[in-house]
Amino acid sequence: MSNKQYLVVRLNQKPIGTLVQTATGKKEFFYSKDALHPISLSMPLCNEVYKDIVCESFFGGYLPEHPEVKMIIGKKYGISPNNTFSMLKAIGGDCAGALSFHDPDDVIDESLTFEITGKEIDAHELERMIDQLKLNPLFLGINNLRLSLAGFQDKAAVCLWDNKVIIPSPGIPTTHILKPTHPVLNDLAENEYLIMRIAKQIGINVPEVILRNDFKKPFLLVTRYDRVIEEGRISRVHQEDFCQALAISGRYKYQNEGGPGFNQCYELINKLYLPAVEKLKFTELVVFNVLIGNMDAHGKNFSILHKPDHVCLTPFYDLVSTKFYENLSQKMAMKIGKTYKTEELTRIQWEKFSKEIQYSFSSLCKLIEKTAEKISLFLDKKDDVVHAGPLVDYLRNHIDKQIKLLYQQTRW
């Protein structure tokens, strides 16, 4: 008798392959014979079986990263928090992108679009649910919610319809990521809200964000770019992050731990549709992250959208001035030139970076200057800068420092 366990992997509700857990706990994946689209750039369509290392890098990338969150989920469902197969079986009904995970005997609605239905949550109940996120991550179990989100920060996923927060009915995709304010990092929700608004204002492709103040503690609602709403019905769009696409475990998402660096990122971008256009977009983001002090721009914070006829970059997300908080890492997630420190980002380091990514150095300098000017102009519009306070002053000072460093010839 076989001790293997099986999960049907579905893309937009249709079976596309099978995830297997062997008797030794290893994972395997193979595509269905009629599969038409790969689920990852790291797992092209083929007749072979993908083994444990690739499977863990890709499928593990759908799960929460915080050990305490995984521990609580494990206790809730009576499973090991480190068993990716069991975790996906428990909570993998609605993940980032269009994949979902199901028992072979499950009866699944294979519709491509769904009417948004569920349980409306009033402000009082939502406040209680957010306060209990530590004990009940992702709002799991509420209205039979079976959902997974990657990342380290506390968050949940909900539907927003007619300005009302809804926990969707089982099987219905969510429309927004809910991010509460942080108990230690002051004004984190306001920080992300401001930075995302700046990014949008200066032409960077980001999702819409809403800062809600339904009760004492504000929270952020980020529109899911991997969902499409048309005529009141919602559908999923497949996506994967850079670590998944490069077959790198999210446990090693930082470059100094073995995660991707910019060389690997640009090599990946060269595989996308209209790579020259995507390369420019990504370079604009790199510059923006440096100027606003986003030290946490790692391989899981960039993603790829799998559209029906091509693959492209997703809108950019999780843009926060992390350097503003002294108790967070002051090192960049990926090095530029030979440094991980913005304090060492002189002209020499930017020039090394431009050669590595094969981007005109003079164009890069102009991009840095222009981006700094656009951000500063936004910050000067006091009516547009809300809930910011010290962050605005910090951003102005940080930008000035980076522009001065751009003209330093110091070698590090």
309 CB burial (10 A radius; 0-12, 13-18, 19+): exposed
Q: For residue range 198-207, what is the model confidence (pLDDT) as tens digits?
A: 999 999 999 9
Q: For residue range 119-131, what is the model confidence (pLDDT) as tens digits?
A: 999 999 999 999 9
Both 62 and 159 in one domain: the answer is: no
394 CB burial (10 A radius; 0-12, 13-18, 19+): middle
Q: Which amino acid is at 366?
A: K
Both 150 and 173 in one domain: the answer is: yes
Q: For residue range 272-327, what is the model confidence (pLDDT) as tens digits?
A: 999 999 999 999 999 999 999 999 999 999 999 999 899 999 999 999 999 999 99
Strand boundaries in 198-345, DSSP class E: 209-212, 219-223, 227-230, 233-236, 238-241, 303-306, 311-313
Both 303 and 339 in one domain: the answer is: yes
180: how many CB neighbours lie within 10 A of its CB? 21
DSSP 64: B
Both 98 and 119 in one domain: the answer is: no
Write out the residue range of the structural domain in which residue 39 sits.
5-102
pLDDT band at 411 (very low <50, low <70, confident <90, very high): very low
In a domain, 241, yes or no: no
Strand boundaries in 22-61, DSSP class E: 27-31
DSSP assignment of 190-215 equals HHHHHHHHHHHHTT-----EEEE-SS
Contacts 24+ apart (CB under 8 A), 106-110: 106/8, 108/10, 108/13, 108/171, 109/13, 109/171, 110/13, 110/14
Q: For residue range 224-276, what is the model confidence (pLDDT) as tens digits?
A: 999 999 988 999 999 999 999 999 999 999 999 999 999 999 999 999 999 99
And the tokens for 239? 């996506």
Both 273 and 161 in one domain: the answer is: no
In a domain, 304, yes or no: yes
| φ, ψ (nearest 5 deg) of residue 219 | -145, 160
Q: For residue range 355-409, what is the model confidence (pLDDT) as tens digits?
A: 999 999 999 999 999 999 999 999 988 555 555 678 999 999 999 999 999 987 6
Both 196 and 143 in one domain: the answer is: yes
Give one word for 316, left, alpha or beta, with left for phi > 0 and alpha for psi -120 to 50: beta
Q: For residue range 146-199, what is the model confidence (pLDDT) as tens digits?
A: 999 998 888 999 999 999 999 999 889 999 999 998 878 878 999 999 999 999
In a domain, 341, yes or no: yes
Both 160 and 277 in one domain: the answer is: no
Both 126 and 218 in one domain: the answer is: yes
| φ, ψ (nearest 5 deg) of residue 179 | -120, 115
Both 221 and 142 in one domain: the answer is: yes
Both 301 and 381 in one domain: the answer is: yes
Distance of alpha carbon 346 from alpha carbon 357, whole angstroms: 17
Torsion of CA 247, 252, 253, 257, to 10 degrees: -120
Quote the longest CA-to-CA distance of the chain. 70
In a domain, 127, yes or no: yes
Mean pLDDT of 327-356: 97
The active-site residue out of 226, 296, 309, 393 is 296
| Angle, in degrees to the nearest 10, between helices 361-380 and 188-201 | 120
In a domain, 210, yes or no: yes
pLDDT of residue 213: 86
| Domain boundary, last residue among 102, 132, 153 | 102
Report the relative pairing of strands 227-230 and 99-102 from DSSP bridges. unpaired
Map tokens 């799991």 to a residue.
140
Q: For residue range 59-111, what is the model confidence (pLDDT) as tens digits?
A: 999 999 999 999 999 999 999 999 999 999 999 999 999 999 999 999 999 99
As for how many domains the chain has, the answer is 3
* pLDDT exceeds 60 at position 412: no
And the tokens for 324? 């503003």
* pLDDT exceeds 90 at position 332: yes
Both 141 and 226 in one domain: the answer is: yes
23 CB burial (10 A radius; 0-12, 13-18, 19+): exposed
pLDDT of residue 304: 98
Q: Is the pTM of this model over 0.85?
A: yes
| 106 contacts 93 by C-beta, under 8 angstroms | no
Both 288 and 218 in one domain: the answer is: no
Q: Is 34 one of the annotated active-site residues of the chain?
A: no
In a domain, 247, yes or no: no
In a domain, 344, yes or no: yes
pLDDT of residue 281: 98
In a domain, 242, yes or no: no
| Domain boundary, last residue among 78, 102, 126 | 102
| Domain boundary, last residue among 185, 206, 233 | 233
